[in-house]
Structure 1
């Protein structure tokens, strides 16, 4: 069996604390997983980073590499951006590439890399006028957006519900319709 490479890219939202189990599930599904984090998510998981690198067999990335520095990951067959905060979704849709993670996925649109995003936002963020525009921009660019029925459904601020990681992993690698 040929190994496929999944870039699992995470923002700082509470489901990021479940990432080790998500990596293990993706590996069971045949993926070679490379973990990338926003700077805030890397700070949240700071103590776990060595263990996560050992689990994936790849360095965890959260910053741009230096010019001329070799890539440390194999080429991606698919990208899953989850959990994706409002900031990550909006920056990506608007092309604001101040972080490595957003810079990578913004460029990934132009390279035609199959990408899936599953936001993790509460219902107050959803009511901001930019958020639905950003989701539509990403859809139009060919990104599979798992939001609403069949994906992440926003909760009220402070409400806790399980994040649907299984839906995200099921969708990765499927053709975008």
Structure 2
């Protein structure tokens, strides 16, 4: 779909593959075809994209000092926050986010947890999926926000959402399938 740009790296020992775009011309194509039309939803990734875009536009190759770099970094401020911009394919994005950040512990409760540094993304996801669960903040090295669901209503919404959308991938799909089976037994009252 992107015209053959980039390279796929296979890691058979991990059962993973990574897709990477590293040359400037291919990055320009990616920006024109995808990133300028569809928003990145986390503030951190959107800010990184904004800086990368500026580097490519201005053909910046290097900074001679840390001070120059810090001045550049401070001067490149996104015009609009990602959540405020138009969002396409949000359900697919949420599945991808869950694939990377979600946790499906089987702890007798069959809860589900998402933890991230970007509170606005978790709020958007909670609202999009119609969860009643509250967000919690947690500070260790840095402040993160956690969305944890365990109620029958919220868990049913999550299962219906994941079953109806593009599937999770790899190890996360395996975790979800085990979790979902345990949840089904618990929901039917047959979980020991």
The normalised TM-score by structure 1 is: 0.32
Larger radius of gyration: 2
TM-score (norm 2): 0.30
Higher helix share: 2
Q: Which has the higher contact order (CA 8 A, sep 6+)?
A: 1
